[in-house]
Amino acid sequence: MDDSDQKELRGLRYLQTQKDLICTLKKALADSERENVQLKSEISKIVAPPVKKLRPKKPSSSKGKRAFILGLTDNHYTQQVDPTLNGGENLHNEKISFQRVSSIIFKANQIIEEAQSKHGVSEALVWLGGDSMVNADLHPNFQRLTPYEPLEELEIVYNIKMNLFDQIMSGPLRRVPLRVHGSLSNHGRDGKKEEVSAEMAYRRSYDVSLYKNLDRSLPINFTIEPTYFGIESVGGVKCLLHHGHMVNMRVMPHTNFYQPNWTQLGRRLIHPKHQGIKLAIIGHWHTAAEYMSNGFTFVSAGCTVGQDGYAYGHGFLPEPPSQPLIEIDSVTKQVVQVHRIYCDI
């Protein structure tokens, strides 16, 4: 073999070596790419875990669906109640008020969860009846009942409400259409004519400011009623929602038997806008009462502040703090039951 043949052979061997090297590199790159893809997949699982979507529970029976109204009114969150001023029956402050309302929501969630498993729940309404704050600016003729200035109290009550709504939305109502109705409260200090008084109260109300802040923060449909009498339809039942100061409550002497002024209420129900009302809910009077007749239900919501100096001084008998949860059959469009939920403390 001459020199030229040897050079050609060495060249061929070199080319084959380069081809083998290229094949080895391609295989290594392919293996590396597969490993990179696998690593990226594992990292994506760690960085962004898949979101588990909540789906409504399928009703376990076909007995009909339920709708609910949870009443939260006259909670007076920051009111300081000294037991020595009310016969030693009650102590109240912002910590106790939060615990009381939270215990009511906990029990309401249990009732709704049971109804959901049996019948399914079609919708729910949280009614905020007003008087969440108690600053002296709201009641200029009353003794100051809170250590906070108005804007301080507004911020504190807003934070309390946000925590309570977190509790509501993390319960069974997270799976059903939920909305809020805020009622306008007023105690007659802005004039006697209803239309003027409601307009003035809406502009001055700390409750309205609270509702607006909650509306901006919560992912829930929120109605802020600009008049004294709001209307909602829940489970096919037309409801009249009113803080309560324009419907008097009467009490039998030396008893806890309360009833509304039926004449006042009747005049309200025959108003053209209110015809067809099957359920009327009021607050303001800090008394728990409910009356159910054929086709109509009346509820006085009660309160969570309990016996305070004002009630004690005016002869109101002590009453356990409570709020109502109203259960509606959305198939028959009738109120099924008014659950009276009492606080744990």
pLDDT top residue among 130 and 43: 130
**Residue 255, both tokens:** 């008893």
Q: How many domains does the chain fold into?
A: 2
In a domain, 60, yes or no: no
In a domain, 59, yes or no: no
Do 109 and 13 share a domain, yes or no?
no
**Residue 316, both tokens:** 């109101």
Number of Cβ atoms within 10 Å of the Cβ of 83: 14
In this prediction, residues 270-278 reach a mean pLDDT of 93
In a domain, 55, yes or no: no
What pLDDT, on a 0 to 100 scale, did the predictor assign at position 156?
95
In a domain, 57, yes or no: no
18 pLDDT tier (thresholds 50, 70, 90) = low
Most confident of 4-18, 78-92, 95-109: 95-109
Would you call 308 exposed, middle or buried from its count of C-beta atoms within 10 A (0-12, 13-18, 19+)? buried
Would you call 177 exposed, middle or buried from its count of C-beta atoms within 10 A (0-12, 13-18, 19+)? middle
Do 43 and 72 share a domain, yes or no?
no
In a domain, 56, yes or no: no
Give the structural domain span for 211. Answer: 66-342
Do 235 and 162 share a domain, yes or no?
yes
Would you call 248 exposed, middle or buried from its count of C-beta atoms within 10 A (0-12, 13-18, 19+)? middle
- Among residues 294, 293, 227, 214, the alpha carbon closest in space to that of 260 is found at 293
In angstroms, how far is the first alpha carbon of the chain from the final one?
Answer: 109
Would you call 337 exposed, middle or buried from its count of C-beta atoms within 10 A (0-12, 13-18, 19+)? middle
What pLDDT, on a 0 to 100 scale, did the predictor assign at position 291?
94
pLDDT top residue among 191 and 99: 99
pLDDT top residue among 36 and 34: 34
Do 44 and 187 share a domain, yes or no?
no
Residue 43: is its pLDDT beyond 50? no
251 pLDDT tier (thresholds 50, 70, 90) = confident
What pLDDT, on a 0 to 100 scale, did the predictor assign at position 304?
95
Residue 44: is its pLDDT beyond 90? no
Do 153 and 29 share a domain, yes or no?
no
**280-300, pLDDT tens digit by residue?**
999 988 889 999 988 899 999
Torsion region of 321: left, alpha or beta (phi above 0 gives left; psi -120 to 50 gives alpha)? beta
Q: What's the CA gap between 199 and 160, in Å, rounded?
A: 27
Poorest-confidence range of 111-125, 126-140, 203-217? 126-140
What pLDDT, on a 0 to 100 scale, did the predictor assign at position 58?
43
Q: Count, in order, helices (H) and strands (E) of the chain.
A: 7, 13
314 pLDDT tier (thresholds 50, 70, 90) = low
Do 43 and 188 share a domain, yes or no?
no
DSSP, res 265: H
- Among residues 63, 97, 60, 101, the alpha carbon closest in space to that of 77 is found at 97
Residue 144: is its pLDDT beyond 80? no
Residue 119: is its pLDDT beyond 70? yes
Residue 141: is its pLDDT beyond 60? no
Torsion region of 135: left, alpha or beta (phi above 0 gives left; psi -120 to 50 gives alpha)? beta
Residue 323 · residue 227 · CB < 8 Å: no
Residue 1: is its pLDDT beyond 70? no
DSSP letter string, 44-96: HHHHSPPP----PPPPSS-S--EEEEEEE----TT--B-GGGTTT---B-HHH
Do 104 and 9 share a domain, yes or no?
no
Do 284 and 165 share a domain, yes or no?
yes
Do 152 and 112 share a domain, yes or no?
yes
Helices (H), 119-223: 150-169, 194-204, 206-217
DSSP, res 201: H
Residue 274: is its pLDDT beyond 70? yes
In a domain, 310, yes or no: yes
Percent of the chain with pLDDT over 90: 54
What pLDDT, on a 0 to 100 scale, did the predictor assign at position 42?
52
Do 22 and 75 share a domain, yes or no?
no
- ∠ Cα 166 169 170 (to 5°): 85
- 24, amino acid identity: T
Residue 73 · residue 130 · CB < 8 Å: yes
Do 189 and 288 share a domain, yes or no?
yes
- Among residues 323, 244, 322, 249, the alpha carbon closest in space to that of 280 is found at 244
Residue 37: is its pLDDT beyond 60? no
Mean pLDDT (the chain, rounded): 83
Q: In Å, what is the CA distance from 220 to each residue of 28, 60, 121, 179, 291?
A: 56, 27, 17, 6, 30
Residue 219: give its domain's CATH number. 3.60.21.10
- 140, amino acid identity: P
Do 188 and 270 share a domain, yes or no?
yes
In a domain, 95, yes or no: yes
In a domain, 61, yes or no: no
